[in-house]
Each structure stands twice: as structure tokens, then as C-alpha cells.
């Protein structure tokens, strides 16, 4: 069961969004039918937050209204992505099962009044979620409108209650077998934390000062496994009654409560939500970042952009509007990198409720609006790309991505609060994006053989297997760039002894890091090649590596800052400071050059994105997106699928999907 089946059923790529007809009356439904036809909507996500209507009292279902909407949508040629409503339990549920409400790390039990107020490990919640999923699947499992199942919505709510404590202990028993093994792993000899019985182990609730890093890391792993288990329960309840593909929408890239490599393996099609957090070119780079992650979690297969905003850029406390043209360009940015369509939250902007100011495909102003006209134009463009369904995107560069490293680097007590995993990952991806090259993300223990270049930013935690994998990758001819404070702890969050990083990686890099030296606030150091670093420095001892650039200031003056090592058939590079963005981008560009990886359409100016999708029969399409404020000339004129005509250049903000011939 794959994305392919979804697009087969739709007859092309998906276009549409969350449709919440329960917020409106009949007159609006009729207008919705008409406007969906105008906009080219072929897939509507229904029921995400409908639990209170579907099950008004425990065990009493009211499906009549949903029957009517599914039939109406079907008659209108719109397929349905039917959600289970479990992200928002109704008030009756929380009153009947107060023990199923989430408890914060500080011990406050939250109450209903928003959404996502549930404890994932509470037996009553899990049972209720399975029940409503099964009831929906039994009723709609083979409904002709049904194209996709959408389990839950953005699994994310952490809980520290007694149910969680009990489930956490079971998870720990399973992992460690004995308390001695747990005590050893967490290093509980420090600060008198030794556990004498399993009952003494709690979730990492609010405490006096730094929490134990092994404890917090294992809790993150445990919670992630709980999410996967909760998803599987609903998925399996659905599969008992339905053969349609099942997915869940993964959180935006900045949230890391779930190991998305694991969850990606459980869904029939990976689906993501994406809302940029900066305007302009950064939004475009962020869309590429999110899309490349989604494709990687999908194992390279096509995936689905489940949610984006028609006019929503969250920027540090403000919600900025998308500029004219961005609805199409952002949609194509995702499709270029493997999405089988472009969906939005939500179809019609709510007039009441907590998200009444969130953008939508039909804004408060109605269809006579810039937003709706751009939506309809985007729907028409997506419809012209039907032939691309099932085609894929390949990359020759990978950025390593590991939840354990992320969680490890979120520990208390690190030597700098500016070691941020997410921004390090984004910077690495951005540098590759700026070079006009597509990157995959890869797990450190995955087979990296198909990549010419691997970037390892902020890989704080690295397992023995991961370190050996990277050593082998370089020995076999790969080029890796490992960045500061990587490979410094093992998979128990225990420090590597004898010098950093982990021994097999030291061998590949030909260095030994003897000491880490965070820089003072505002300190900016100069390297011998003229580049600059902030935040961090390290005392690096070469053990076979050559110095590419040395520190010029302070106690590290003259010692290596950037190194390169010929190892086996490959090259291991090490970067021991956080370079300024422009210098880092230049270093990555140099490495891309060394390994001979360049843009798919050479000659385009920076800020022009070009990505190729390739079909199984070898047909190719080049997406060209001009994120600049100036026009751009194409290297050679080509046929544009969006206009079904020739194109030689793009205006500012313009897009084209070029017929790239056949590569087989
Ligand atoms: C998503 C969520 C939607 C809506 C949207 C607003 O994360 O799934 O329900 O809240 O954010 O941007």
C-alpha cells in the first residue's frame, strides 16, 4: 500500500485540504462544492477534530452527518482522507477519565478547553482511540469516496503522569533487564541517584537542577516508541476493515518528540505538515528542508504534503502573509522534492474557534479574494502535473539525522546553550540548498554508499555502530564533513574517553579532539583562511590529517580548526568551530566541488531552485523556482508543463516544470 495507490485513485496529484463542514450550514456546503470544483480540489481531509460529534456520549455514535458529507463529496468528485479524531477528545471523555488528562513535568494536570489534552499512555485513552478508529473503519472502510486514512493529528503531547511512569518502567525493564544495568547506563553513582527498585524510577519530572542525561534520553526514546505503538493500534484497527492506505501527519521539522525514521516505516505514505518560520528565501529553504526530510523518512518514495497555510508564515510571534505567488511556489517546492500533491490547513477559514485567524483556501473575504484566486491557479497547475505521480527524486549528498543525537543534545548541563540540533541541521541543509543541490537525510547507521558527500552536523550522540559505519563509508571512498562536538557520547549518553569523537571516526578523520572550548559571548575568532567562527572552538590534535585552516587567536593559535584526512579511498573532513554562515556555505560548496556534485541545471543564479523528478520509465521533469526578486534566464528554452508552452526565462517569483526528456 503506497502513495502510488492514492494517486491512482485520484488520477493525478492530490490537491485540497482539511474540510470541516461541521462548522458550517447547508448553504455553505453548496458553495463549498462549487468552489472546490473551481479550485480543482480532488482530496479533502475530513473529521480531524470531530470526536465530540461522532461520539456525543461514550459508546453512542452519530455517523449520519458524516455519511451525508462523504456522499456529497463523492458526488462532487472529491475523494476523502478520513481522519480519526483522537487528537482532541471531547469534554465527556476527560470528565469520565480524568486520569487520561496530561500532566506536565511540573505536575500540573491540564484540562480540556484546547486540543491534544490526553495522556497517550492512559489505558482509557488508548482504548477509546482504538474504539473510535475501528468504528469509523467498519462504517467507511470501503466507502467509494475514501482514498486515505489519516490517523490522529500530529502526535506530540508529552505526559509525566502515573500511567506514564508505569509504562516508562516497563519500557526500561524491557531495555535493561536488570536495575544494575539501568544504574550503570545512567551513571546513577553520580549525585546519589542509584535506584534500589523499579518503583523508584519516575519520568523526568521537574526537579531541583540538571536532570540526568541518560534518564531524559531514555524518556524521549520511550515516548517515541509509545507514539509508534499508539499509531500502530489505530492503523491495525483500521486495516481490519479497510484496504485503503493509512498515514498520520508528522509534526513540523522543529518538533522532535518522535523518531521519524521509525514512524516513517509504519505508515503507508509519509505525510507532513509544513509552516515556514521565516519569510522570503528562508521560507523556500525551509520548505526544501521539510520536503527532503519527508522524502528521506519515506525511504525515497513519494510522500504527501498534508498541511501548509495559504498565507501563514510563523515568524517569532507574528503570522506573516505569504507574498503573491508563494502559494504556488511553496506548493511546487514540495512537489519538486517528491510530494504527491499539495494540501492545506484548511479549506474554509473558521469564523469562530481558536484558529479563526488562521489562513485558509477560502478566506473570510470569500472567493473574491487574492488568496482564493491564487489557490485556484495552484489547483490548475497541480492538475497539469498528473504525469509526475509516482516519480522520485534522488540525491548524491546526505545530511545525517538522528533523533538520539537531537535528544542527547537537548540534555541539561551541556557546555553551551547554543548547541542547537535543529538549527545545525538546517544550516547544513541550507548550505547544500544554496549550492543548488538536493540533499537527503540519512541515519548514521544507514547504508551511505550511494552518497558522494555526507555532512554530520551536531552529531553529539553516535553509537558504536554509527561510528564504524562512518569509518567504513570514508574507507570505501566517501567524503564526510564532521562538525564540532560530534561523536562525543555513546548511545547511553556517556562520554567517549581518550579523546573525541568515537574511536573509529577518529581514525577516519585522522584527528583527536583533546579539549572543547566554548567561546565567550560575542567572541568571533578568525581562522588562517580568513573565515570566522563563533560559539565554539576545540583543541584538535592531528593524527594523520592535514590542517586546512588553523586558529589564529588565543590559546589555540596555530592549532587546526579545519582538517582533512585521506583515509582509504575517501576523505574525512573535520570542522571544530561554528563558521559564519557565508564561510560555512563556501566550505560546503568547496566540498561539493571536490566530490563533483553540482546543480541539475548548471548556470542558474543563487536563489533559483532546480530539482528533477524521474519516473520509473526514465521520463524526467525539472522544476525551476525563481525565489529571487529579479528575472532569470533558463540555460536553454524548454517546454513548460504549467503553461503547456515554451519557456526561456522566469519572472521574479516565477515557476516552471520543464519537460526534461528521458534518461534511460
Ligand atoms: C497544524 C495542525 C492543524 C492546524 C495548523 C495551524 O500543526 O495540524 O490542525 O492547527 O497546525 O497552522
Last residue of a domain, one of 552, 573, 595: 595
Percent of the chain past pLDDT 70, that is, above it, reads 99
| Omega before 346 within 30 of 0, i.e. cis | yes
- Is residue 571 one of the residues assigned to a domain? yes
| pLDDT class of 4 with cuts at 50, 70, 90 | low
Pick the closest to residue 254 from 397, 426, 114 (CA basis).
Answer: 426
Residues 579 and 627 in one domain: no
- Is residue 551 one of the residues assigned to a domain? yes
3-state secondary structure 344-396: ECCCECCCCCCCCCCCCCECCCCCCCHHHHHHHHHHHHHHCCHHHCCCECCCC
Residue-level pLDDT at 2? 61
Average of per-residue pLDDT across 214-242: 98
Pick the closest to residue 644 from 395, 373, 386 (CA basis).
Answer: 386
Residue-level pLDDT at 256? 81
* Cell numbers describing residue 66: 458524516
Residues 471 and 492 in one domain: yes
Last residue of a domain, one of 595, 617, 648: 595
Pick the closest to residue 413 from 578, 203, 577, 204 (CA basis).
Answer: 204
Q: What is d(CA 240, CA 176) in angstroms, rounded to the nearest whole number?
A: 34
Q: What is d(CA 327, CA 304) in angstroms, rounded to the nearest whole number?
A: 16
Residues 509 and 623 in one domain: no
Task: Tell me phi and psi for residue 550, to 5 degrees.
Answer: -115, 160
Residues 589 and 631 in one domain: no
| pLDDT class of 554 with cuts at 50, 70, 90 | confident
- Is residue 284 one of the residues assigned to a domain? no
Give residues with Cβ within 8 angstroms of 182, minimum separation 6: 172, 176, 188, 195, 201
Residue-level pLDDT at 373? 98
Q: Report how far ligand 1's centroid is from the alpha carbon of 174 (Å).
A: 35
Residue-level pLDDT at 553? 87
Q: What is d(CA 565, CA 545) in angstroms, rounded to the nearest whole number?
A: 4
**Per-residue pLDDT reduced to its tens digit, 27-65:** 999 999 999 999 999 999 999 999 999 999 999 999 999
Residue-level pLDDT at 3? 63
Residues 408 and 487 in one domain: yes
Q: What is d(CA 622, CA 597) in angstroms, rounded to the nearest whole number?
A: 17
CATH no. for residue 588?
A: 3.40.50.880
Q: What is d(CA 664, CA 659) in angstroms, rounded to the nearest whole number?
A: 15
Q: What is d(CA 645, CA 342) in angstroms, rounded to the nearest whole number?
A: 23
DSSP letter (8 states) at residue 415: S
Q: What is d(CA 112, CA 114) in angstroms, rounded to the nearest whole number?
A: 6
Q: Report how far ligand 1's centroid is from the alpha carbon of 344 (Å).
A: 9
Q: Report how far ligand 1's centroid is from the alpha carbon of 171 (Å).
A: 31
Last residue of a domain, one of 542, 569, 595: 595
What are 549-554's contacts with CB under 8 Å, separation 24+? 551/525, 551/527, 551/577, 552/525, 552/526, 552/527, 552/528, 553/525, 553/526, 554/525
* Cell numbers describing residue 312: 501563514
Residues 480 and 448 in one domain: yes
Beta bridge partners of residue 461, listed in sequence order: 489
**Per-residue pLDDT reduced to its tens digit, 421-469:** 999 999 999 999 999 999 999 999 999 999 999 999 999 999 999 999 9
Residue 207 CB coordination number (10 Å)? 12
Beta bridge partners of residue 440, listed in sequence order: 398
Residue-level pLDDT at 1? 44
CATH no. for residue 633?
A: 2.60.40.1180
Distance of CA 390 to the CA centre of its chain: 21
- Is residue 466 one of the residues assigned to a domain? yes
- Is residue 193 one of the residues assigned to a domain? no
Atom of ligand 1 nearest to the CA of 251: 7
Instruction: Provide DSSP, 179-206.
Output: HHHHHHHHTTTGGG---SSGGG------
Domain span including residue 613: 608-659
Assess whether the C-beta atom of 275 lies below 6 angstroms from ligand 1: yes
Q: What is d(CA 193, CA 623) in angstroms, rounded to the nearest whole number?
A: 56
Residues 653 and 543 in one domain: no
Q: Considering its fold, how many domains does the chain have in total?
A: 2
Pick the closest to residue 616 from 391, 295, 340 (CA basis).
Answer: 391
- Is residue 219 one of the residues assigned to a domain? no
Residues 516 and 622 in one domain: no
Average of per-residue pLDDT across 579-590: 98
Residue 663: is its pLDDT beyond 70? no
Residues 463 and 561 in one domain: yes
**Per-residue pLDDT reduced to its tens digit, 183-227:** 999 999 999 999 999 999 999 999 999 999 999 999 999 999 999
Assess whether the C-beta atom of 223 lies below 6 angstroms from ligand 1: no
CA–CA–CA angle 25, 29, 34 (5° rounding): 150
Average of per-residue pLDDT across 86-113: 97
Burial (0-12, 13-18, 19+ Cβ within 10 Å), 14? buried
Ligand 1, atom 1: nearest CA belongs to which residue?
273
Q: Report how far ligand 1's centroid is from the alpha carbon of 280 (Å).
A: 21
Mean pLDDT of the chain: 96
Average of per-residue pLDDT across 270-279: 94
Residue-level pLDDT at 392? 97
Q: Report how far ligand 1's centroid is from the alpha carbon of 267 (Å).
A: 20
Decide if 348 contacts 32 (C-beta within 8 A): yes
Q: What is d(CA 641, CA 638) in angstroms, rounded to the nearest whole number?
A: 10
Assess whether the C-beta atom of 116 lies below 6 angstroms from ligand 1: no
Assess whether the C-beta atom of 345 lies below 6 angstroms from ligand 1: yes
417 Rama class: left (phi>0) / alpha (psi -120 to 50) / beta: alpha
Instruction: Provide DSSP, 588-615.
Output: HHHHHHHHT---SSTTPPTTEEEEEEE-
Pick the closest to residue 330 from 306, 301, 309 (CA basis).
Answer: 309
Decide if 29 contacts 2 (C-beta within 8 A): no
Q: What is d(CA 70, CA 129) in angstroms, rounded to the nearest whole number?
A: 21
What's the chain's length in residues? 664
Pick the closest to residue 222 from 155, 168, 161 (CA basis).
Answer: 168
Q: What is d(CA 362, CA 382) in angstroms, rounded to the nearest whole number?
A: 18
Query: Which of 115, 355, 356, 360 has the most ligand 1 atoms within 8 A of CB, as the residue to mutate?
Result: 355
Q: What is d(CA 393, CA 612) in angstroms, rounded to the nearest whole number?
A: 6
CA distances to 128, 130, 226, 237 from 233, rounded to whole Å, are 11, 7, 11, 6
Assess whether the C-beta atom of 273 lies below 6 angstroms from ligand 1: yes
Decide if 264 contacts 241 (C-beta within 8 A): no
Residue 252: is its pLDDT beyond 80? no
**Per-residue pLDDT reduced to its tens digit, 480-492:** 999 999 999 999 9
What's the start-to-end Cα distance of the chain, in Å? 27
Assess whether the C-beta atom of 307 lies below 6 angstroms from ligand 1: yes
Q: Report how far ligand 1's centroid is from the alpha carbon of 274 (Å).
A: 9
Q: What is d(CA 161, CA 107) in angstroms, rounded to the nearest whole number?
A: 8
Residues 500 and 634 in one domain: no
Assess whether the C-beta atom of 538 lies below 6 angstroms from ligand 1: no
**Per-residue pLDDT reduced to its tens digit, 366-384:** 999 999 999 999 999 999 9
Residues 413 and 477 in one domain: yes
Residues 523 and 630 in one domain: no
**Which residues are the active-site residues?**
154, 307
Assess whether the C-beta atom of 115 lies below 6 angstroms from ligand 1: no
- Is residue 565 one of the residues assigned to a domain? yes
Residue-level pLDDT at 475? 98
Residue 627, helix vs strand vs coil? coil
- Is residue 176 one of the residues assigned to a domain? no
Query: Which of 151, 248, 273 has the most ligand 1 atoms within 8 A of CB, as the residue to mutate?
Result: 273
Amino acid at each position: 500500500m503506497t502513495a502510488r495507490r492514492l494517486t491512482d485513485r485520484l488520477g493525478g496529484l492530490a490537491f485540497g485540504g482539511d474540510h470541516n463542514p461541521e462548522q458550517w450550514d447547508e448553504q455553505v456546503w453548496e458553495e463549498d462544492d462549487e468552489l472546490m470544483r473551481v479550485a480543482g480540489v480532488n482530496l479533502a481531509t475530513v473529521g480531524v477534530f470531530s470526536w465530540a460529534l461522532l461520539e456525543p456520549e461514550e459508546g453512542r455514535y452519530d455517523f449520519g452527518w458524516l455519511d451525508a458529507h462523504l456522499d456529497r463529496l463523492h458526488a462532487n468528485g472529491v475523494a476523502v482522507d478520513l481522519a480519526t479524531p483522537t487528537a482532541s477528545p471531547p469534554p465527556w471523555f476527560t470528565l469520565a477519565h480524568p486520569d487520561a488528562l496530561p500532566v506536565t513535568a511540573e505536575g500540573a494536570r491540564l484540562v480540556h478547553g484546547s486540543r491534544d489534552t490526553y495522556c497517550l499512555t492512559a489505558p482509557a485513552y488508548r482504548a477509546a482511540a482504538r474504539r473510535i478508529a475501528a468504528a469509523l473503519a467498519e462504517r467507511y472502510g470501503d466507502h467509494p469516496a475514501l482514498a486515505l486514512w489519516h490517523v490522529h493529528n500530529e502526535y506530540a503531547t508529552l505526559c509525566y503522569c502515573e500511567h506514564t511512569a508505569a509504562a516508562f518502567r516497563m519500557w526500561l525493564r524491557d531495555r535493561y533487564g536488570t536495575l544494575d544495568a539501568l544504574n550503570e547506563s545512567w551513571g546513577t553513582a553520580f549525585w546519589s541517584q542509584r535506584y534500589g527498585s523499579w518503583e523508584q524510577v519516575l519520568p523526568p519530572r521537574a526537579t531541583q537542577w540538571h536532570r540526568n542525561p541518560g534518564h531524559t534520553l531514555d524518556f524521549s526514546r520511550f515516548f517515541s516508541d509509545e507514539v509508534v505503538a499508539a499509531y500502530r493500534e489505530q492503523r491495525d484497527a483500521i486495516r481490519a476493515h479497510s484496504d485503503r492506505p493509512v498515514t498520520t501527519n508528522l509534526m513540523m521539522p522543529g518538533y522532535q518528540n518522535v523518531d521519524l525514521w521509525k514512524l516513517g516505516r509504519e505508515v503507508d505514505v509519509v505525510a507532513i505538515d509544513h509552516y515556514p518560520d521565516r519569510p522570503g528565501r528562508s521560507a523556500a529553504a525551509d520548505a526544501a528542508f521539510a520536503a527532503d526530510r519527508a522524502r528521506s523518512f519515506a525511504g525515497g518514495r513519494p510522500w504527501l504534503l498534508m498541511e501548509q497555510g495559504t498565507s501563514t508564515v510563523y515568524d517569532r510571534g507574528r503570522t506573516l502573509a505569504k507574498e503573491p505567488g508563494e502559494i504556488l511556489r511553496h506548493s511546487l517546492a514540495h512537489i519538486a522534492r517528491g510530494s504527491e500533491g499539495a494540501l492545506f490547513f484548511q479549506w474554509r477559514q473558521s469564523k469562530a474557534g481558536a484558529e479563526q485567524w488562521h489562513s485558509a483556501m477560502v478566506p473570510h473575504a470569500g472567493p473574491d479574494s487574492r488568496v482564493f484566486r491564487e489557490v485556484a491557479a495552484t489547483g490548475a497547475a497541480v492538475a497539469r502535473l498528473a504525469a509526475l505521480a509516482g516519480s522520485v527524486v534522488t540525491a548524491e549528498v546526505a545530511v545525517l539525522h538522528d533523533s538520539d543525537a537531537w535528544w542527547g543534545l537537548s540534555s541539561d548541563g551541556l557546555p553551551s546553550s547554543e548547541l542547537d540540533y535543529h538549527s545545525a541541521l538546517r544550516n547544513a541543509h541550507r548550505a547544500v540548498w544554496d549550492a543548488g543541490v538536493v540533499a537527503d537525510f540519512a541515519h548514521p547507521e544507514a547504508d551511505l554508499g550511494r552518497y558522494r558527500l555526507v555532512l554530520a552536523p551536531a552529531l553529539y550522540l553516535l553509537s558504536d555502530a554509527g561510528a564504524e559505519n562512518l569509518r567504513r563509508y570514508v574507507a570505501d571512498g566517501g567524503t564526510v564533513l564532521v562538525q564540532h562536538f560530534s561523536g562525543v557520547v555513546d548511545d547511553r549518553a556517556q562520554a567517549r574517553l581518550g579523546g573525541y569523537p568515537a574511536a573509529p571516526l577518529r581514525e577516519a578523520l585522522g584527528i583527536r579532539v583533546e579539549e572543547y572550548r566554548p567561546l565567550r559571548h560575542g567572541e568571533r575568532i578568525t581562522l588562517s583562511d580568513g573565515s570566522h567562527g563563533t560559539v565554539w572552538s576545540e583543541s584538535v590534535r592531528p593524527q594523520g590529517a592535514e590542517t586546512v585552516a588553523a586558529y589564529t587567536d588565543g590559546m589555540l593559535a596555530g592549532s587546526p580548526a579545519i582538517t582533512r584526512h585521506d583515509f582509504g579511498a575517501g576523505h574525512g573532513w573535520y570542522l571544530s568551530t561554528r563558521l559564519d554562515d557565508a564561510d560555512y556555505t563556501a566550505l560546503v560548496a568547496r566540498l561539493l566541488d571536490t566530490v563533483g556534485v553540482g546543480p541539475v541545471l548548471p548556470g542558474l543564479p543563487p536563489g533559483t531552485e532546480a530539482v528533477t523528478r524521474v519516473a520509473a520509465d526514465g521520463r524526467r521533469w525539472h522544476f525551476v523556482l525563481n525565489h529571487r526578486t529579479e528575472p532569470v534566464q533558463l540555460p536553454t528554452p524548454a517546454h513548460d508543463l504549467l503553461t503547456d508552452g515554451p519557456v526561456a526565462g522566469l519572472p521574479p517569483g516565477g515557476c516552471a516544470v520543464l519537460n526534461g526528456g528521458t534518461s534511460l
